[in-house]
């Protein structure tokens, strides 16, 4: 079934609920953003209260990803503030999880979330993290970052190249997550679609997916496979995009109204 297509979700308009999965201490608050009930995956915002702590020795059956957008967080031996991203594959020792001042976190799990304390199998893919995704030193031009990995044709001829961080890599998992940065004056010259579902959280600046839809920080969208969008433009835009399948972004001409996604 996959994650549901969503034209726009404003995070702060989503109802907050207590979230207390088995084995997790009381105090977490969640905003449910999207889900794939068939596989038990979910996308959410998590509010971690100041002083919240979960003692170590737990691991999770699901691949987890998180991005701290406010406050501070310690998890799996990492610690950081706004901009800390981590990919923690199933089986990763989560160690002590805590926040001193509280935290707001974008959080994905790719299968049912279940903390276990028995012996964990070794993770099947390497974990990865970036201490500050907003630090320009970590940004690489898209055509460079994806050279030899996927078709970057839709980035041909851009006057101001998009930059990115490959946070979770496609050749390892097929479920890549990318930080995209669209600089001042960014505008594509073609339309595009994707063969897999793409979720996007808008974090900084302005981004439009077509002239009638402008996104600002605090908003989310989800493209189902085959949805044509464009011309994409941006102005100092920073967003995090998660693909639920192979990363492809075919270049299609202006004016196209349908595509065959089996191509
Ligand atoms: Fe796209």
Q: What is the CATH number of the domain that holds 201?
A: 2.60.120.10
Q: For residues 218-252, b (16+ Cβ closer than 10 Å) or e, as one string?
A: ebbbbbbbebebbebbbeebbbbbbbbbebbbbbb
* Residue 193 alpha carbon to ligand 1 centre in Å: 6
Helix, coil or strand: residue 13: helix
* Residue 138 alpha carbon to ligand 1 centre in Å: 21
Q: Which residue has the higher pLDDT, 186 or 263?
A: 186
In a domain, 261, yes or no: no
Tokens of 41: 């995956």
Of the residues 76, 95, 130, which one is the last residue of a structural domain?
130
Residues 33 and 47 grouped into a single domain? yes
* Residue 225 alpha carbon to ligand 1 centre in Å: 10
Rounded CA-CA distance 188/190 in Å is 6
Per-residue model confidence as pLDDT tens digits over 97-107? 999 999 999 99
Work out the end-to-end distance of the chain between its first and last CA atoms, rounded to an integer number of angstroms: 20
Residues 146 and 53 grouped into a single domain? no
Residues 6+ away with beta carbon under 8 Å from 255: none
* Residue 68 alpha carbon to ligand 1 centre in Å: 23
Please give the pLDDT value at position 66.
98
In a domain, 1, yes or no: no
- Inform me whether the pLDDT recorded for 19 exceeds 90: yes
* Residue 197 alpha carbon to ligand 1 centre in Å: 10
| For residues 110-136, average pLDDT | 92
* Residue 192 alpha carbon to ligand 1 centre in Å: 6
**How would residue 179 be classed by pLDDT, with cut points 50, 70 and 90?**
very high
Please give the pLDDT value at position 203.
98
- Inform me whether the pLDDT recorded for 263 exceeds 60: no
* Among 82-96, 177-191, 214-228, the least confident range: 177-191
* Residue 127 alpha carbon to ligand 1 centre in Å: 26
Of the residues 107, 130, 153, which one is the last residue of a structural domain?
130
* Residue 59 alpha carbon to ligand 1 centre in Å: 33
Q: pTM of this prediction?
A: 0.94
* Site of tokens 């207390």: 20
- Inform me whether the pLDDT recorded for 214 exceeds 70: yes
Residues 121 and 85 grouped into a single domain? yes
Please give the pLDDT value at position 140.
95
Please give the pLDDT value at position 3.
95
Q: For residues 130-157, b (16+ Cβ closer than 10 Å) or e, as one string?
A: beebeeeebbebbeebbeeeeebebbee
Residues 149 and 123 grouped into a single domain? no
**How would residue 240 be classed by pLDDT, with cut points 50, 70 and 90?**
very high
In a domain, 257, yes or no: no
Residues 12 and 88 grouped into a single domain? yes
* Residue 215 alpha carbon to ligand 1 centre in Å: 13
- Inform me whether the pLDDT recorded for 39 exceeds 70: yes
Helices within the chain (DSSP H only): 142-145, 170-173
When divided into structural domains, the chain yields a total of 2
Sign of CA dihedral 245, 163, 108, 221: negative
Rounded CA-CA distance 24/240 in Å is 27
Residues 168 and 199 grouped into a single domain? yes
| For residues 138-144, average pLDDT | 92
Q: Which residue has the higher pLDDT, 113 or 159?
A: 113
Tokens of 26: 């009381």
Contact call for residues 151 and 59 (beta carbons, < 8 A): no
Of the residues 130, 164, 199, which one is the last residue of a structural domain?
130
Residues 106 and 140 grouped into a single domain? no
Residues 142 and 126 grouped into a single domain? no
* Residue 222 alpha carbon to ligand 1 centre in Å: 10
- What mean pLDDT is reported for the chain? 91
In a domain, 50, yes or no: yes
* Residue 227 alpha carbon to ligand 1 centre in Å: 9
* Residue 229 alpha carbon to ligand 1 centre in Å: 7
Residues 53 and 86 grouped into a single domain? yes
Residues 107 and 154 grouped into a single domain? no
- Inform me whether the pLDDT recorded for 236 exceeds 70: yes
* Residue 259 alpha carbon to ligand 1 centre in Å: 14
Please give the pLDDT value at position 190.
81
| For residues 186-199, average pLDDT | 87
Q: Which residue has the higher pLDDT, 258 or 70?
A: 70
- Inform me whether the pLDDT recorded for 151 exceeds 80: no
**How would residue 260 be classed by pLDDT, with cut points 50, 70 and 90?**
confident
- Inform me whether the pLDDT recorded for 254 exceeds 90: no
Structural domain of 235: 136-252
Q: Which residue has the higher pLDDT, 86 or 2?
A: 86
Residues 75 and 159 grouped into a single domain? no
């Amino acid at each position: 079934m996959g994650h549901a297509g969503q034209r726009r979700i404003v995070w702060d308009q989503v109802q907050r609920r207590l979230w207390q999965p088995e084995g997790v201490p009381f105090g977490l608050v969640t905003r449910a953003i999207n889900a794939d009930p068939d596989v038990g995956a979910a996308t959410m915002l998590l509010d971690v209260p100041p002083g919240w702590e979960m003692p170590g020795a737990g691991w999770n059956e699901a691949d987890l990803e998180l991005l701290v957008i406010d406050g501070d967080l310690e998890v799996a031996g990492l610690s950081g503030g706004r901009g800390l991203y981590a990919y923690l594959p199933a089986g990763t020792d989560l160690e002590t999880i805590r926040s001193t001042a509280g935290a707001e976190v974008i959080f994905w799990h790719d299968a049912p979330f279940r903390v276990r304390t028995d012996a964990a199998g070794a993770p099947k893919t390497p974990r990865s993290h970036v201490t500050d995704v907003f630090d320009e030193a970590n940004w690489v031009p898209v055509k460079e970052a994806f050279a030899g990995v996927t078709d970057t044709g839709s980035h041909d001829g851009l006057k101001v190249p998009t930059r990115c961080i490959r946070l979770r890599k496609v050749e390892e998992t097929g479920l890549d997550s990318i930080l995209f940065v669209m600089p001042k004056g960014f505008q594509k010259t073609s339309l595009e679609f994707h063969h897999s579902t793409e979720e996007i959280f808008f974090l900084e600046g302005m981004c439009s997916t077509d002239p009638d839809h402008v996104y600002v920080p605090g908003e989310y969208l989800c493209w189902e496979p085959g949805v044509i969008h464009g011309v994409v433009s941006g102005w100092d835009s920073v967003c995090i995009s998660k693909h639920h399948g192979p990363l492809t972004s075919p270049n299609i001409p202006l004016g196209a109204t349908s595509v065959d996604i089996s191509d």
